[in-house]
Amino acid sequence: SSGQPCDCLPPLRAAAEQLRQKDLRISQLQADLRRPPPAPAQPPEPEALPTIYVVTPTYARLVQKAELVRLSQTLSLVPRLHWLLVEDAEGPTPLVSGLLAASGLLFTHLAVLTPKAQRLREGEPGWVRPRGVEQRNRALDWLRSGGGAVGGEKDPPPPGTRGVVYFADDDNTYSRELFEEMRWTRGVSVWPVGLVGGLRFEGPRVQDGRVVGFHTAWEPNRPFPVDMAGFAVALPLLLAKPSARFDAAAPRGHLESSLLSHLVDPKDLEPRAANCTRVLVWHTRTEKPKMKQEEQLQRQGRGSDPAVEV
């Protein structure tokens, strides 16, 4: 060392200045935290979102509760949704009433029995006659004029309500994304459906943002070769066309067309799901449980306790 005193002041001053800046920044951040956050530009307030009315026909069978629990929990992920659950029964059943009450969803519970002449006979395959027709039409009646609700919300949507109607059977599998795709439907929107019609998927063919045809193998000349799970209808359009409903006498595979032909021209369908290139709903089928052991135990008076709801 040359004996010169070390000039330590500048580094110390610099360090002190740095600390002061940090203190300043901390107090700024604390002030920011106390300030109420600015209103986010997106997403819109749930109140501003159009309501999705999901129409589900259902009927009593061993897997009914499992199907409805699964569907209700999917629906509970979706904001601004109103579930119209329609039982194929003379009136509400305790199982469905209890499930709806526990679901936390906004719902309307409806019930209408399918006339005997339209019922599937024992051993008949499901495709012989359309199912759920009376039940879907009952939901359309409620949307248009109210009346007949056996639980939940009794009053139909007030005039001018922005919304969209989707027919969601209880055994399909739905991505939560699907609901945001359909929410802003202006007329009738469409998208592909997976695992249906004997294909990996069926769906509209789209060119330049317009529907130009349909990828389907089964009776491609149907007016609207789409699955029930593959379209949604704007509520104002359904209300403006009071005669539009499902026709129980429609030939096999023409049930969707019987409604849609009252509402829209195929060329005016609105493609969703990335121009119909993404599958967001699947036509899954739950197999019928085998009850051989149950029947055997019942014959011996040792069956499962009927008081336990399954």
pTM of the model: 0.84
Q: What is the pLDDT of residue 13?
A: 87
What total of structural domains would you count in the chain? Answer: 1
Q: What is the 3-state secondary structure (H, E, C) of 165-193?
A: EEECCCCCEECHHHHHHHCCCCCEEECCE
pLDDT score at 293: 97
Please indicate if the annotation marks 23 as binding a ligand: no
Of the residues 87, 202, 256, 270, only one is catalytic, namely: 256
- Secondary structure string (H, E, C) spanning 268-307: HCEECHHHHCCCCEECCCCCCCCCHHHHHHHHCCCCCCCC
Is 210 marked as a binding-site residue? Answer: no
Residue from 290, 217, 283, 228 nearest 254 by CA: 228
CA distances from 61 to 75, 90, 109, 192, 284 (A): 21, 15, 18, 29, 17
pLDDT tens sequence for the chain (310 residues) = 556 666 778 888 888 888 888 888 888 888 888 887 666 566 656 679 999 999 999 999 999 999 999 999 999 999 999 999 999 999 999 999 999 999 999 999 999 999 988 887 777 776 667 899 999 999 999 999 999 999 999 999 999 999 999 999 999 999 999 999 999 999 999 999 999 999 999 999 999 999 999 999 999 999 999 999 999 999 999 999 999 999 999 998 999 999 999 999 999 999 999 999 999 999 999 999 999 999 999 999 999 999 999 9
Give the pLDDT confidence score for residue 167 in this predicted structure.
98
Active-site residue, 256 included = yes
Is residue 34 a part of any domain in this protein?
no
The answer to whether position 116 is within a domain reads yes
Residue 262 is assigned to a ligand binding site: no
The per-residue pLDDT for 39 is 62
Please check whether residue 56 lies inside any domain of the structure.
yes
What was the pLDDT predicted at 42? 62
Q: What is the 3-state secondary structure (H, E, C) of 40-56?
A: CCCCCCHHHCCEEEEEE
Position 173: which residue type? T
In a domain, 33, yes or no: no
Q: Does residue 306 lie within any of the structural domains?
A: no
In a domain, 4, yes or no: no
pLDDT recorded at residue 43? 60
**Is residue 99 included in any domain, yes or no?**
yes
Instruction: Please work out, in degrees rounded to the nearest 5, the angle formed at the alpha carbon of residue 101 by the alpha carbons of 98 and 107.
Output: 120
| Crossing angle of helices 64-75 and 94-103, rounded to 10° | 20
User: What SS3 class is residue 253?
Assistant: coil
Q: Is 61 annotated as a binding residue?
A: no
CATH number at residue 253: 3.90.550.10
Identify whether 301 is part of a domain.
no
pLDDT at position 2? 59
Range of the domain at 119: 51-282
> Was 222 annotated as part of a binding site?
no
Does the annotation place 170 within a ligand binding site? yes
